[in-house]
Amino acid sequence: MESLPADKAGLARKVALLKRHCFASVFEYMFDKQAGGGCSEKAVIHYRDDETMYVSADKDRVTVIFSTIFKDDDDVIIGKIFMQEFKEGRRGSTTAPQVQFSHREPPMELAGTDARKGDNVGYITFVLFPRATAAGAQRQKTIDLIHTFRNYLHYHIKCSKAYLHCRMRARTSAFLKVLNRARPEKKATEKKTISGKTFTRK
């Protein structure tokens, strides 16, 4: 730490991109294989303890499959909604990659592998065509976007749940105010005793 370069900001940027470059080495290799006609091998990256990424290269496409673990049933439902929106978004852009989502069972591309199964397991598949993997700036942009997709998905799931909880608390508070206003007020009544004295019952 005593012999840091003069460009400390540049050094910090290189360190921050270390994870990205580790993923990029695999993507670069598979993109080059696809450009050369494809290959039969499949890259398997265990990027988390219980989550895996699979990358394969065919002659006309590169297929990237993420396995992800959802913490509870709500995450599965919100995740499905997000994936449906990605599918719908492709209709408005012919250059967008094809996106598929499967729940519980791994996709057919992973047949014969040790891919996990379960109610809390989801698989997101991206089909990247040559226009997205061509060497140059477009390839680097594709790598930048796809290697962070898992974090992107779970971040928005958490934000969606926080938003829903906030709206539910606000609506509950509004309902309680309405109920409090609807509570009938007790009217004070005047009573007399046998001796003729009066008192007020509240």
**pLDDT higher at 89 or 29:** 29
Tokens describing residue 151: 């974090």
Q: Is the pLDDT of residue 167 over 70?
A: yes
Q: What is the pLDDT of residue 135?
A: 87
Q: What is the biggest distance separating any 2 CA atoms in the chain, rounded to whole angstroms?
A: 111
178: enclosing H helix or E strand: helix 149-182
Average pLDDT over residues 170-191: 80
Confidence of residue 14 (pLDDT cuts 50, 70, 90): confident
Q: How far apart are CA 194 and CA 73, in angstroms?
A: 69
Higher pLDDT, 188 or 42: 42
- Angle, helix 18-35 to helix 137-146, in steps of 10 degrees: 120
Higher-confidence residue of 60 and 8: namely 60
- Residue 87: what pLDDT? 76
Residue 179, token pair as written in the block: 């109920």
**Which residue in the block uniquely carries the two structure tokens 């998905």?**
153
Report pLDDT for 200: 60
Please tell me the distance from the alpha carbon of residue 110 to that of residue 100, in angstroms, as a whole number. 14
Give tens-digit pLDDT for 124-141.
999 999 999 998 999 999
Which pLDDT tens digit goes with each residue over 74-107?
A: 899 998 888 888 877 777 777 788 888 998 899 9
Structure pTM? 0.79
Rounded to 5 degrees, φ, ψ at 45 are -120, 115
